[in-house]
Structure 1
Amino acid sequence: MYHPPVTDHSVLLRFSYFEHDWDEAIEGPEAMEAELLRRAAEGEWHEVADEAPDEFATLDELVQRAEEVIVGEWEMPVDAVRLPLGKLRAIIADGGWTFVAGEFSDFEGHHNDTELLVRLDRTLP
């Protein structure tokens, strides 16, 4: 009889560009681009307690949406998306995780920063 793998561990991870923490002196497209790239390069994924994401079923869909907004709409370099997603791919590969679901939320005035939220599972054989 077939027994599906048992989930050993599930984790929610968030990556944020923390726009609400940016120095008010950062103005103009070049300065904003530099700050976004700096945060993409230096930022880390953090474990959070939150509701599980359900917007995207695959990592590729999450990447596509993030690129549509950050690269397409904001006209920022693709590395602003690829750097944090590269870190996530390394976390997945190094820890034996499986991407389960993800969400992307973009900067919204006084409400939220641009963030990526993912659920990863690790299973036992």
Structure 2
Amino acid sequence: MPVQSILLRFSYFEHDWIEEDIDGPEAAEAILLRVASEGDWFEVDAAAPDEFATLDALAERAEQVVAGEWRMPVAAVRMPLDRLRSIIADGGWTFAGGGFAEFVGNNQDTSMLVRLVRDVPDQRSSS
């Protein structure tokens, strides 16, 4: 049976925050939570991530960084991951790998990248 694969990314788009009025941790927290609640997973063309073999391992690392190191609410990670779990369940997908990248100055925003796969029924007739 053929297999379909997609790569999805969720980004916190910190570089877009430059237009926001951030005057302290509370303001940053509010923006982070807004992005987490309103942001979408979007399809990308990238190398397949292999840093994490399970969705739980990806979630654990993202929570370590966002909640542990940054001291921001764990909801900032859980909201987008809950949406990803819905995408997986609704589409019949299986998590096949994931990656987590932290904000790096002018180079990258904090993001999660996942590869999802699902079986595609053979469309050929059996007659």
Match of 1:9 among 1, 4, 7: 4
Residue number among 8, 27, 31 corresponding to 1:31 in the alignment = 27
Q: Which has the larger radius of gyration?
A: 2
Structure 2 counterpart of 1:55: 51
Deviation at 1:24, TM superposition (A): 4.7
Q: 1:77 aligns with which of 58, 73, 76?
A: 73
Q: Deviations over 1:55-94 (max 9, x none)?
A: 0000000000000000000000010000000000000000
Give secondary structure in 1 for the equivalent of 2:84: helix
The one of 50, 63, 66 aligned to 2:62: 66
SS of structure 2 residue aligned to 1:107? coil
Q: How does 1:103-114 map to 2 (within 5 A)?
A: 103-114=99-110
TM-score, length-scaled by structure 2: 0.91
Please give the alpha-carbon distance, in whole angstroms, between the structure 2 residues aligned to 1:13 and 1:122: 14
Corresponding residue of 1:18: 13
TM-score (norm 1): 0.92
SS of 1:80 mapped into structure 2: helix
CA contact (8 A) 1:105 1:116 kept: yes
Aligned equivalent of 1:3: none
Inter-partner Cα distance in structure 1 for 2:74 and 2:64: 10
The residue aligned with 2:41 is 45
- What corresponds to 2:86 in structure 1? 90
Two-structure CA RMSD over aligned residues (Å): 1.1
Distance 1:70 1:25 in 2: 21
Percent identity of paired positions between Structure 1 and Structure 2: 64
Shift, 1:123, TM fit: 1.1
Q: Which aligned segments of 4 or more residues in structure 1 are displaced greater than 4 angstroms?
A: none
